[in-house]
């Protein structure tokens, strides 16, 4: 059938109307028959059938599992645990809120225990929202509000590299031992080692600790499904370096589905991964107070289409790395070392350069503690440092042979020695290839510790490897065509007076670069960054809080924005005018 382009004007009215509805979110889940959020009665989760308080956990277990439906709002009024053999099912369009707690150790959270499952299968038209109890879920709650409740944690039985007795000069109880209960068995940051409910992994040997049996890892472990989920205003702070993350994945297996996840305004790391084999796809982290993506303890999963941006306020106490990458916190030679494979990442910093006690990296990629891994076809912008590689193996950590993350990255074929090592291990087990670094003050650095500012590298073998061999591109300042990392937001009113543009135009091609394998997880993507430049393909559109905030050009689907620059203006009219009065199929 033919339709006249006169329909353009009808679409204009529809677009304006839909955007007004989008900004309010009061009809979240309406497409699924859910009532307005404000009219939904609140239900305390501790009042549900089967809830059993567990001493020492500051909460308890839902021993019968539970089903959350969108006709109610559910209040996490304690730490809520889903035990082995039970499932928490959350219907599309449902809102779950974390209650505040004045005592940091008692921060509310949702924890899926080993053997338990979460089936939170939201949809593009009916996402699931986790947020703070004070949030009216109407788009008005300040994005500058952090740490009002704990967050969501999934605990599994997949591989990690935890050992109770730490290597090097660290005594047991420090480094990776800080989280270890036994070899292969750990406890999450912010939780108590005495509670089996808070543990991840499997005790591999020795005398079983209370509540454990000796077993083996299961890399196909399945903790359930999290799809089209928004998690907001989390990260209760127990102490410096010991905070709850928005989404924590501890030894989670590749049988678990984590995709279309959005984290907003987290007080600590937005997504932190402790070991495991879990894969991430279509994830966004915005306006967080610490690292966007943090891996540790031998994570060997995959990731594709990952986005992140800091707040524009550089005076934030934290606001640290885009990616903080650790083999393990003790810098040991425990195997496996972290070795994730990532394609198509876009991360935007805020040019912050002032260090604080727990946040001194401020790198797009802070590779430390012997991490391995592969990062391809991505865009990193406006960080103090681009790729920071830790090189020193001197005190206070005396590592076993093997060097540091720099030694895993450099293509120098020599074998490293101990603390005086100056050459690489020849394997290039850390690859950062075919990425674009935009407006990063120090694009390539190597440092002496995991958090200090590295030494700028502008020439020599390392610089040649970075720019020529590994085909990374350095763009000085905010000059990449079609791409603009600047934005201005009022963190109280959520008003963006300046939008950024996260999609280079023309697209950055990947000619000669590694191509994402067709393996059932990765999607072919012949461009650098998280988003295709094709109109209408932005995977944050419509369902996400990003679309409500409208912080980046091209997120909100708008049929009148013909040139896809985020505005309906004279440029769009000039595209339309020559076709006025014609018809198309």
**Residue 436 clears pLDDT 70, i.e. is over it:** yes
- Which of residues 565 and 403 earns the better pLDDT score? 403
For 396-412, write each residue's pLDDT tens digit.
444 455 568 888 898 76
In angstroms, rounded to a whole number, what is the distance separating the alpha carbons of residues 238 and 150?
10
Q: List b or e across 68-93, with b for residues whose CB sees 16 or more CB atoms inside 10 angstroms.
A: bebebbbbbbbbbbbbeebbbbbbbb
pLDDT value of residue 263: 96
Region of poorest pLDDT, from 209-213, 216-220, 393-397: 393-397
C-alpha distances in Å from residue 106, one per residue of 99, 100, 344, 542:
11, 9, 38, 35
CB 549 within 8 A of CB 494: yes
pLDDT value of residue 12: 40
**Residue 62 clears pLDDT 50, i.e. is over it:** yes
- Which of residues 7 and 263 earns the better pLDDT score? 263
**Residue 575 clears pLDDT 80, i.e. is over it:** no
**Residue 183 clears pLDDT 50, i.e. is over it:** yes
pLDDT value of residue 357: 47
Tokens of 201: 């992994």
User: At CB < 8 A and 24+ separation, what contacts does 11-20 make?
Assistant: 11/559, 11/560, 12/559, 12/560, 12/568, 14/559, 15/558, 15/559, 15/560, 15/568, 19/550, 19/556, 19/558
pLDDT-derived band at 170 (thresholds 50, 70, 90) equals: very low
Tokens of 353: 């350069």
**Residue 516 clears pLDDT 60, i.e. is over it:** yes
Q: For all residues of the chain together, what is the average pLDDT?
A: 84
Q: What is the CA radius of gyration of the chain?
A: 24
For 499-513, write each residue's pLDDT tens digit.
999 999 999 999 999
């Amino acid at each position: 059938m033919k339709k006249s382009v006169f329909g353009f004007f009808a679409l204009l009215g529809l677009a304006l109307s839909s955007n007004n509805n989008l900004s309010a979110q009061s009809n979240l889940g309406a497409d699924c028959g859910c009532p307005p959020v404000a009219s939904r009665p609140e239900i305390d989760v501790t009042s549900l059938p089967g809830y059993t308080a567990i001493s020492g956990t500051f909460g308890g277990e839902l021993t019968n599992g539970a089903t959350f439906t969108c006709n109610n709002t559910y209040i996490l009024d304690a730490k809520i645990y889903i035990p082995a053999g039970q499932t928490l099912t959350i219907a599309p369009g449902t809102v779950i809120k974390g209650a505040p707690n004045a005592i940091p150790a008692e921060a509310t959270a949702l924890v899926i225990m080993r053997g338990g499952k979460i089936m939170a299968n939201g949809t593009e038209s009916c996402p699931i929202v986790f947020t703070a109890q004070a949030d009216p879920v109407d788009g008005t709650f300040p994005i500058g509000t952090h740490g009002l409740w704990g967050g969501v944690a999934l605990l599994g039985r997949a591989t990690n590299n935890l050992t109770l007795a730490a290597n090097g000069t660290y005594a047991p109880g420090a480094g990776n031992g800080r989280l270890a209960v036994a070899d292969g068995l750990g406890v999450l940051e912010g939780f108590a080692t005495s509670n089996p409910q808070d543990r991840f992994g499997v005790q591999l040997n020795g005398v079983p600790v209370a509540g454990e049996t000796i077993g083996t890892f299961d890399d196909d472990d399945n903790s359930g499904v999290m799809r089209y989920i928004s998690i907001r205003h989390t990260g209760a702070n127990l102490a410096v370096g010991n905070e709850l993350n928005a989404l924590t994945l501890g030894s989670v297996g590749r049988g678990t589905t984590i995709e279309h996840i959005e984290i907003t305004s987290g007080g600590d790391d937005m997504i932190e991964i402790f070991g495991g084999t879990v894969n991430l796809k279509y994830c966004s982290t915005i306006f967080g107070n610490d690292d966007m993506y943090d891996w540790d303890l031998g994570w060997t999963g995959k990731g594709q289409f990952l986005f992140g941006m800091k707040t524009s306020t550089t005076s934030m106490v934290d606001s640290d790395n885009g990616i903080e990458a650790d083999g393990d916190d003790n810098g040991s030679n425990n195997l496996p070392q972290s070795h994730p494979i990532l394609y198509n990442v876009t991360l935007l910093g805020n040019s912050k350069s002032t260090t604080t006690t727990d946040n001194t990296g401020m790198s797009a990629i802070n590779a430390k503690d012997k991490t391995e891994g592969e990062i391809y076809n991505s865009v990193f912008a406006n960080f103090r440092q681009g790729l920071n590689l830790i090189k020193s193996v001197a005190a206070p950590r005396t590592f076993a042979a093997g060097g540091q993350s720099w030694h895993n990255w450099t293509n120098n074929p020599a074998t490293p020695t101990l603390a005086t090592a100056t050459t690489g291990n020849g394997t290039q087990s850390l690859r950062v290839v075919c990425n674009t670094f935009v407006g990063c003050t120090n694009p390539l650095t190597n440092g002496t510790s995991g958090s200090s500012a590295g030494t700028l590298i502008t020439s020599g073998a390392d610089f040649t490897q970075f720019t020529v061999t590994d085909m990374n591109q350095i763009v000085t300042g905010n000059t990449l065509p079609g791409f603009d990392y600047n934005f201005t937001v009022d963190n109280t009113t959520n008003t963006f007076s300046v939008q950024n543009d996260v999609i280079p135009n023309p697209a950055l091609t990947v000619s000669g670069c590694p191509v994402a394998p067709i393996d059932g997880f990765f999607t072919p993507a012949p461009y650098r960054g998280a988003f295709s430049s094709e109109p209408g393909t932005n995977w944050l559109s419509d369902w996400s809080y990003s679309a409500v905030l409208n912080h980046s050009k091209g997120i909100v689907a708008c049929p009148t924005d013909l040139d896809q620059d985020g505005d309906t203006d004279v440029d769009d009219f000039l595209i339309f005018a020559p076709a006025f009065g014609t018809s198309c199929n």
